[in-house]
Structure 1
Amino acid sequence: MWLAEYIEEGEPRRLVDALAARDDNAAHAWLLTTPLPPGAVGPESARRIAEAVRLDEVVRADPVDLRVLAQAGRLLCRMTSRGDYRPEVLAYTGAVAVHEALVAQASALAPTLDHYAILLSLALDLHSGPSHLLPWQPGRREALLDGLESVLAAPPWAALARGEPTPRADPAERHRAAWIRRTARQPFGPRDQRTGAPRLRIEVAVSDPADPDTVETRFLVDGRPLVPEAFGRGPGNAPEYLLDSGRLRATPEPREVQLAEAYCTEGCCGALHVTVRRDGDHVVWSHWRRPPASPHRQASSELPEYRFDAAAYDAEVARAENDHSWAWPARSTARLLAAGLRDRPELLTRWDCRFGWVGTAFSEPDTTTLSFTFWPGLAAGRRDTAGPWLQFVWDLPDDGTPPDVRAARALKRMETTDPKTFAEVRGGSREHAQVLGFPWPEGQGH
């Protein structure tokens, strides 16, 4: 227990797993009351801890230790993480009981940033994530959402959500507070959206920055989350891939779209594909492709053909494409940069460079990162695919200017200056770097 609490990042997960495997009261008490960082508990470990300590029984004690109550929320949040091959919450038989007990007593928790983030994360997953699919009695999931909304709407909690961290606050605290402000209302739409949901609802879900996991596009069809129910091996694809690209727009010409990919990549465990086409007054989703069986099911049933009213479908896709309320400044800068390079690819090709990707890193969410590849001869149409090449990365830290200003400034710089002169080599090979006259980064392999 001492090692698990004090060891540096990297090894705690193995120690916590070892503690969870012990039939030892002291180990169980420690696991129930010690806040564990995300790096110490993976989704499967969270489920095994909950089973080992009999969390579904402990959390129903009267009175319950509030440290245990908060830990129950953390473990449920980890079980809903997409950082594994399946949503472990669906494999945890005590999930319904723990949700019920936690929400019933949530008002007893102190209104802290950590507790708010836990309750909001649970609500977001009950609304549109895997926890939606637990075996709820009729109306119970909606009642839990109402209960969480009531707790978080109470004055001390609401004040916490509105508050701004002090200028000297830890960056992680600022990120978490900003995420709460952006996300606070997302799981708690008007009741008619929860009980009489539109045929198709598209939402972007961002996880708690303290547990950096993923930014995913979620699809609610008749109120049920499509990706975890139909696929279950990974999250929905990023909004930049599905929404900014216009891939979900329907035309008479059928288009196959990848909605989600397995956590380990499509080449390993598959992906979820659907063909989108316009058919008169309807938009049709059909010809599904996915692996033979979802991890949390014995067998996969055939997915139905979905027919959406075309006008309603177009309106929903347009609304989702134009809703950027989920994005933080660095991510907005990345989206605007990507749009600018799609419109003006010559900004890179003129320098023998090809656009790779742009986004933000989990470890540095305030930095916009642009990746491109240098292929000699690309501008003249004489690229040698067997010849030397290098990957470059350009990091743009958030300097406080608006995202549109930062993106425009970056595009202007690429228009006038070879980006290879200010970006850093991050990929390729040492030999290619020597041939092309660029320094190979220190500490990086061959």
Structure 2
Amino acid sequence: MIAAGLHELATLAIAEDGDVFTARQLGRDLADALGLDRLDATRVATAISELAREAAGAGGGSVAFAVRGGGDLVATVIARGLPVDHPSVRSAERLLDGVTHHVDGATTTLVLTMGTSSVVTSDDVVRLRDLAARQAPTSPLEELRHQHEELLTVLDTVRAKNAELERLNLELEETNRGVMALYTELSGELERTNQGVVALYAEIDEKNDRLSAASEAKSRFLRSISHELRTPANSVLGLTRLLTDPGAGPLTDEQAEQIGFIRTSATDLLALVEELLDLAKAESGRLVPEVRDVDLAAVLDELAVMTGPLLRPGVLLEVEVPSPRPVIRTDPDLLRHVLRNLLSNAAKFTAAGTVTLAVATGPEGTTVSVADTGVGMGAEERDRVFEEFFQARTPLHATTNGTGLGLSFALGVAQALGGDITVDSTPGTGSRFTLHLPPDPPEATS
């Protein structure tokens, strides 16, 4: 194979009709030599002869033949006074693979390209140049005979293509009849299916309306019952404080113990009421973040102090905060709610080892993870851990208190902050709950 550049074959001056015939014949012979079929060779010859005729009629010009290493046959036609929008130029553009032009004053240069499937070698270039050198001038009669043969070839090709087209049309008609029959059948089936889908959607919409109404009724009930229960629970706690006040008179040991039980029960009841109220707020969308800059390390230090008394003996709480101290934009109160629930949960299910509170920041936001070395969970429990009232069945279950609302509420608050909570846990190894906070939290709207 030769280099990919142009390799000149021959140049013909165009001054009269005989030169036009010779250029046409040479273009056809070179196309044949490069392996083009009769129809493509006729396209090359016709385009060259039309442009060469215009060049001869406009005062003369030239046609230069060349070949590219990739196999393209290239003819460069130079003519004086030939506009680029001339019908002959437009015809060449339709007949050949490529036509480019350049106008310099009154001279127009047209580069015609026809691709071939040949891989041209150095020997091919020598052979083509020899063919061009031996090209004899063609008489009008001889050229007419060649054009007659080309016309017959084109007609035979057109007849063959028409016959093939008729056969394909018949096949297409048969196919169309089958397609139309299938389409009719499928249309009927699709219409019946659509009717069923419409009915199904109507049923789904109705059930969604019922679920929405039931959810709203549940939220109203939770808010109402929480407010109703909070007052007597606070009253019980107030009465226990009055009974244990030194000025109320002495109590026997048994009485003090019984009042202690009452205070503990009332405290647990109030905590349950607060959880129900928080859950109702989260579900009803009434948790509106009040976003401001928050010193995350200070919040974590505060939570560490509050979590310490909840840990079992021997369990250590570790806090890992990057330097410099990260400052994020979020609602600090809601953030404390989420992390307090996660830390309380970790403390409940960790009998030994550590609970680690760690922070990581990046362009996608901030993550705060709570990892423990507790009992862990299996796949089924991981999938349900954020469900309301769900509590994992673990060896520590009998010794832990809770309603199963904490994690559900924490997830609702995290989503209100524009974030999410993910969990990774292995039975016997521990769990890691990760709070993901966005860099731009949702702002409260009026």
More helix by share: 2
Q: Which has the larger radius of gyration?
A: 2
Per chain length, whose mean CA-contact separation is higher, i.e. which structure has more relative contact order (CA < 8 Å, sep 6+)? 2
Under a length normalisation based on structure 2, what TM-score does the superposition of the two structures give? Answer: 0.21
Under a length normalisation based on structure 1, what TM-score does the superposition of the two structures give? Answer: 0.21
